[in-house]
Chains A and B, each alone.
Chain A
Amino acid sequence: MERPGLLDRNSRNDEVGAAMVLLTRKIEFSASHRYHNPNLSAEENHRIFGKCNNPHGHGHNYTLEVTVAGEPDPVTGMVLDLKQLKDILEREVMQRMDHRHLNLEVPELAGQIPTCENIARVIWQLLEPKITQGKLHHVRLYESPDLFADCYRNGAGAR
């Protein structure tokens, strides 16, 4: 009989291999956004989104944690070169989103409400094809210390 509900981290990724290691890199960026759905009335927008519907937008300091899974290379001992990951994050995330207006300046978010959920998924989709050493495992995007979204492959587990 299993102990109910205890998270067994070791059992979560056994398909990847016994020596799989998770590596996480954190970056921070600042951006402005506005929650507004043009298909809804002004009243509905205000009711659903509250102060996030302010016409002139508002901003956050976002914190992004990107976790890559892989087996350490026998020669370098690395899952992937951190410098390489840093460059990918700089190119794909920082240059696109840092000090930008997410609704107006990030084409990948066009037509979407730039919530944590949607931004995390867009970041996943930007990063996944670029990470060729190891495998993108988990993206966590904090909008504030008390609000965040997690994105991961179904079945891989949130951590």
Chain B
Amino acid sequence: MATSSPNGPAPPRADSSIRVFWRVLRANPLSFFGFLLCAFIGLTALVVVVAPGLLVPYGPLQQNSLARNLGPSAHHLFGTDNLGRDIYSNVMLALPLDLGIGFAIAGSALFIGGALGLVAGFYDTPGTLGGWLSIAIMRVTDIFLSFPSLILALAMTRVLGLGVGPTVIAITLTWWPFYVRLVRGEVLAVKHRPYVSAARAAGVTENRILLRHVLRNVLEPVIVYFTLDIGTVLVTYSTIGFVGVASKFPSAQPEWGAMLAFYQGSGAATSEPWLVLAPGAAIFVTVLAFSLLGDGLRDILDPRTRRAFVRSTTTHDPPPETTTALSSSSDEPDSDSSSAPAVGAVDARSAS
């Protein structure tokens, strides 16, 4: 077995992000599946935006008195409602909106929170202006983190005005503090590394150190967290849609949460379950895809699981040749089945 290799586990190398990414996908079939699913969902959304005719047979509000309350069939994949509106078309049309909102909110939160976190982590020398700024940022962040973001976002949406735009702004305003915490923590861990001191000794200015040396090394965990976060944002947004404060259904631009709320409220859920299950399944699969991908990637963020991950990927140590994406994906089931017992073996009785 691979564990009995005479050389023992190779020391973990400092890898490029792409290679780490592939190692995670190879070690964790669920993440790999999530990655494929994300790619598929992204492509589908793109097609719906660019060429809706290919995937969306009916308009979002198009009624058909001859096709009321139909169950799922070849013509109406997810059935129709009491006015003959096609559920499949509505679910499909909602995909780009929900996905775009997930990216927009998580992305803006990343930029706002990331920038504040960089400042708070890097310029935190006590007594200086930066030190005070850092303290102020962290106190405000702590207060924001005391609120469940859903409830704060709900109240803010009311204040900002109902609709998609205000909801996006409201969620973003409650979302950035998570990134401040994350980025500041990473900056604090990185800023005393030897390469930063070396750059400082070489006379590189502080701002340049921040942007070229610290920022780059902080980026990887932040992006991993971002992947997982898109799903969470989507859930929050669609929950606000469900409460009925964000989007209304039926409308020209359907949204999954609002859609589910509408059909659940109309009392049709028991007699025509597809009305509720179709948008529900859509959001479940989308969020699950991002979570599967992000959860596996997050194993390398947490130092505890990272060690287990390094153990598991280095014991059977495939030569780090630059395989193309395609060939390594076809190897996937094999390499995993050989690595799986090794992981358990190392965990249970690692060589002392």
Is the A/B pair a real complex? no
